[in-house]
C-alpha cells in the first residue's frame, strides 16, 4: 500500500524504513530537507511540503504523523485539513495526551488513529509495540503497515475507541517508571550492601531464567558493561516527558491508587538533588531503550 509519513526524526525514519522493507510505497516529508533526503536515499518518494505529499498520495490517503506531541501535531493537521476527507486515515504515532487525541479525532475530517508507540530507536530492527485507538475500519485499513512497523501481527492491536491508544501508552509509561525505579533500588542495595558484587554478572544471571528477567534488565547488564560497576560518570539525573505525570494525574482523577508509579515520578523530580545510584541507572537505561542522551556529572 501507499503511505505518507510526516516527521522524519529517529522514530519517523524507522517507520519509513520498516514500511519500505515490507514492500510498501512511502512518500516522506519533514521540515528538515536533510531528513527528507535521508528518507529518499532509503527509497521513499520525497515531498517538499504537506500539500505536495497529499498530491502524491492521491485518493484515500493513509498518512502517519511522527512529529513531537503538542503544537506540532495541531500545526500539521491544520496544513492537512484542506486535503482530507472521510475516506482518509491519519495516524498520530507520537506521545500525545489522550484528551488531545479525542479532540483531534472529533475535529479532523479524516479517520484519526491515536497510536501509542513503544520500543524506541533500539527497536528499529525488531519492530515496535503499537497501541491503536480509533475507528475499527481505519485500523483494519492500516493493518498491513502496522504489521510492518510493529514486531508483526502480535505487536499491535486496536485498544478501542478514539483516545484509547494514547491512554494505554500513557499508563504503559507509568509502569515503565515504576519498573526502572524497582531495578534501580535493587541494584543500589547490592552496590551498597554486604558483598563486593559484579553488577553486570548479577544482571546477566537474573536475566537467564529468573522471575524478574526483562528487556530493561538486559539494558541494566549493558549499562554496567559499558559504564562500569559503579556507572562511572553517569549523572544522578533522570529526564523524561510528561507521560508519567499524566498517569498520576489520571489516577487521581479516577481515584485509583498508584503508589509505586507516583513514587517513581517523585524520584525523578527529586533527581535534581544529591546523587543516588538508582537514578544514575535509570538515566543510563533511557539511553538503552530510547537512545536518549546520557547526562554526565560534569554537564
Alpha-helical runs (H) found in 22-58: 33-42, 50-57
Q: What is the pTM of this model?
A: 0.88
User: Tens of pLDDT along the chain (299 residues)?
Assistant: 999 999 999 999 999 999 999 999 999 999 999 999 999 999 999 999 999 999 999 889 999 999 998 899 999 999 999 999 999 999 999 989 999 999 999 999 999 999 999 988 888 888 999 999 999 999 999 999 999 999 999 999 999 999 999 999 999 999 999 999 999 999 999 999 999 999 999 999 999 999 999 999 999 999 999 999 999 999 888 888 788 889 999 999 999 999 999 999 988 888 866 667 888 898 899 999 888 889 887 76
Predicted pLDDT at 272: 65
Predicted pLDDT at 274: 64
Give catalytic status of residue 222 as yes or no: no
First to last CA, the chain: 46
Give catalytic status of residue 81 as yes or no: no
Place of cell 475516506: 87
From 106, 136, 169, 200, the catalytic residue: 169
Are the C-beta atoms of residues 51 and 34 closer than 8 Å to each other? no
Specify the DSSP class assigned to residue 128.
B
Name, in order, each residue with C-beta under 8 angstroms of 146's C-beta and a sequence gap of 6 or more: 130, 132, 139, 156
Distance CA 23, CA 11 (A): 19
From 38, 60, 136, 176, the catalytic residue: 176
Amino acid at each position: 500500500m501507499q503511505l505518507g509519513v510526516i516527521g522524519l526524526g529517529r522514530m519517523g525514519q524507522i517507520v519509513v524504513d520498516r514500511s519500505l522493507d515490507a514492500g510498501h510505497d512511502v512518500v516522506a516529508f519533514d521540515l528538515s530537507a536533510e531528513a527528507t533526503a535521508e528518507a529518499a536515499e532509503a527509497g521513499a518518494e520525497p515531498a517538499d511540503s504537506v500539500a505536495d505529499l497529499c498530491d502524491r498520495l492521491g485518493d484515500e490517503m493513509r498518512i502517519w504523523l511522527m512529529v513531537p506531541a503538542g503544537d506540532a501535531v495541531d500545526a500539521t493537521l491544520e496544513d492537512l485539513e484542506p486535503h482530507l476527507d472521510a475516506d482518509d486515515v491519519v495516524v498520530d504515532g507520537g506521545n500525545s495526551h489522550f484528551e488531545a487525541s479525542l479532540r483531534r479525532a472529533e475535529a479532523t475530517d479524516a479517520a484519526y488513529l491515536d497510536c501509542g508507540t513503544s520500543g524506541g530507536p533500539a527497536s528499529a530492527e525488531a519492530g515496535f509495540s503499537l497501541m491503536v485507538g480509533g475507528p475499527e475500519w481505519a485500523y483494519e485499513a492500516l493493518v498491513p503497515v502496522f504489521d510492518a512497523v510493529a514486531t508483526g501481527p502480535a505487536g499491535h492491536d486496536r485498544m478501542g475507541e478514539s483516545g484509547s491508544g494514547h491512554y494505554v501508552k500513557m499508563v504503559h509509561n507509568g509502569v515503565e517508571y515504576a519498573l526502572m525505579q524497582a531495578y534501580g533500588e535493587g541494584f543500589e542495595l547490592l552496590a551498597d550492601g554486604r558483598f563486593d558484587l559484579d553488577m553486570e554478572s548479577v544482571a546477566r544471571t537474573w536475566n537467564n531464567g529468573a522471575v524478574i528477567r526483562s528487556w530493561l534488565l538486559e539494558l541494566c547488564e549493558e549499562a554496567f558493561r559499558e559504564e562500569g560497576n559503579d556507572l562511572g560518570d553517569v549523572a544522578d539525573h533522570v529526564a523524561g516527558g510528561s507521560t508519567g505525570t499524566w498517569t498520576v494525574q489520571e489516577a487521581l482523577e479516577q481515584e485509583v491508587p498508584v503508589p509505586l508509579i507516583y513514587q517513581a515520578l517523585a524520584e525523578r523530580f527529586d533527581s535534581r538533588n544529591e546523587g543516588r545510584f538508582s537514578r544514575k541507572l535509570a538515566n543510563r537505561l533511557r539511553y538503552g531503550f530510547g537512545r536518549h542522551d546520557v547526562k554526565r556529572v560534569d554537564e
